[in-house]
Structure formats: C-alpha cells, structure tokens
Structure 1
Amino acid sequence: MKGGKLLNVSISTISSQDKKLTDAHLFQKWKTIDWNQVEKSVNKLQTRIAKAVMKNKWNHVKRLQYLLTHSYFAKLLAVRRVTLNKGKRTPGIDNEKWLTSNAKMTAVLRLTGKGYIAKPLKRVFVTKIGKNKKRPLGIPTMYDRAIQSLYALALEPIAETNI
C-alpha cells in the first residue's frame, strides 16, 4: 500500500469506515493506541472467562471466548505480541513482514478467523548447539502467528484455572 491507496479488506468484521482508511490514517491510528486501555479490556474479558470456568458455565465461556476473539482490542494485542517478539523479522512462506505501523494496522483490520486456513510452514534447518547436525525448524507466516496469538488469548484463562 503506497501513495495513499485505500485499504482493501474483503473478509473482515471491521466497520466500513475503517476499510476506507489511507496509509496516513493507518499510521496515525497505530501510533495513538492506548496500550494500557487495550490490555485492561482484554484482561477484563479473560477474567470473566476464568470466572465462568470456575462456575462450570461452559456456554457462557464459549460466548465470552467468541467476544474476545472478535474483539478489536484483542486483535490489536495479538498483532502487537507478534510484532514485538524476537522473530518479527523472520517472514514465513509468504515473505510478509509487519515492520511498519501501516502494515501492523492493516493486519489488525484483516485479522479474522472466518474461513481461516493455515499456510504451509517455511522449512529452515538450524545447527544444533555443540554438534554438526542440523534440525528442521518450521516458520509460520505472520498472519498465522497473529491468529495463534489471538486464540491463545481466549484459551489462556481456561488453562490457568484448570491447572
């Protein structure tokens, strides 16, 4: 997306206003995010999920998980986690990296589990420490990592309460 082109998002749960954002708007929107508010909102939903698990209200848990995985704040947090970690500069099979604010915001707006099919992993061989042999390493695409992070946000409260 160069030169102020409009964002083309076909499969998304984002509003039609957000679909018409230009590069400058995307950049500004990412830079002005209040991360404390985002984390509080996601933590609030995760707390509600954990409480529902403790009360064995599984239908309520499912509804809250749906809310969380479709939440704008959860999508923001998932993309942020993927782009802040050590492997952010390692692209998957699609050679896509989310290094700019525009790319990150575009990723948030595209992130949806609707019709999601994971792409194949990029296969890289890394040397074992202290040995001459190499071991295989699979690298997922950035989009796959973000989806995994998004659904991990919904599954963590259940895992923590059942331990």
Structure 2
Amino acid sequence: MKDRTCKGIGINGHLQDWSSINWKTVKKRVRNLRQRIYRATQNNQWNKVRSLMKLMLRSFSNLLLSVRRVTQENTGKRTAGVDRQVVLTPEQRVQMVAHMGEYSLWKVKPTLRVYIPKAKGKRDH
C-alpha cells in the first residue's frame, strides 16, 4: 500500500496495532468519499461516479471501517460468516485487514453454499 493511504490515520507503514488507528480521520475520509459519489450522482456525472466507486473499493480507510463495523459494531459479530471464522481480538482484526489488502477482486472463485447455524437449531442459507 502507498504511504499516502495510511497518512493521518495513526499508521506508520504497515498496520500493527488496532488501537493506534485514528478512527475520526478514517470515518471522515469514508464519509467524504460517499458524499462525493452522491454529489456526482445528483449531477449525472456517471464517469465520475464510476471512478469514485473504484476509488472507494481500493480505499484503505474504507477497508478499515468495514472490518471495524463487521467485527465490533454489528450485532452479529459473534456469528461465524461464510468462511466459518469469528474475528474477536484486535490481533485477528489486523490479520484480517492484511489479508483483505492482498485480496484481488479480479480473481473470481466459484460459489460455495454454506449453511449458517442459528441460535435455535434452525439453518439459514
């Protein structure tokens, strides 16, 4: 990742400590990008919308905020996902961000049906 993506959010180089992240700056960056997408949509600037959405997909701040929402803020944070893993500790969150940073959107894998067990023995698919 480039240095400019980590600048100002409390990370020097690679992410090592989950608690060192400046969440106020991360949220501000993601909110700003969302507002830019909204304004471009309202002005019917579809090429701009497309390029901003690409920028959002590649944004390190968006990745950090997404991992935080899924692993800390959501009510289903203790439910295993389709990968059958639950991420609860800060070290696991850092590992997840590192893994997602290496992930390529262009290498598509086949679909796998996974049944997620519910609290009362029912299955959801």
TM over 0.5: yes
> Which letter maps to 2:43?
K
Q: Which among 109, 112, 117 is matched to residue 124 of structure 1?
A: 117
TM superposition shift of 1:100: 1.1
Q: What residue ranges of structure 2 are gaps of 5+ in the alignment?
A: 3-12
TM superposition shift of 1:110: 1.9
| Largest Rg, 1 or 2 | 1
Q: Does 1:99 align with 2:88?
A: yes
Q: Are the counterparts in 2 of residues 92 and 122 from structure 1 also a CA contact under 8 Å?
A: no
SS in 2 for 1:88: coil
TM superposition shift of 1:126: 5.9
Greater alpha carbon shift after TM alignment, 111-120 vs 73-82: 111-120
Q: Does 1:137 align with 2:107?
A: no
State the alpha-carbon separation in 1 of the partners of residues 41 and 84 from structure 2: 39
Q: How is 1:12-91 mapped onto 2 (pairs within 5 angstroms)?
A: 14=1, 18=14, 26=16, 28=17, 30-84=18-72, 85-91=74-80
Structure number with higher relative contact order (C-alpha < 8 Å, ≥ 6 residues apart): 1
TM-score normalised by the chain length of structure 1? 0.58
TM superposition shift of 1:119: 4.4
Which has the larger strand fraction? Answer: 1
Length, aligned pairs only: 110
State the alpha-carbon separation in 2 of the partners of residues 64 and 93 from structure 1: 29
Q: Are the counterparts in 1 of residues 80 and 116 from structure 2 also a CA contact under 8 Å?
A: no
Q: What residue ranges of structure 1 are gaps of 5+ in the alignment?
A: 1-13, 19-24, 128-133, 139-163
CA RMSD of aligned residues (A): 2.3
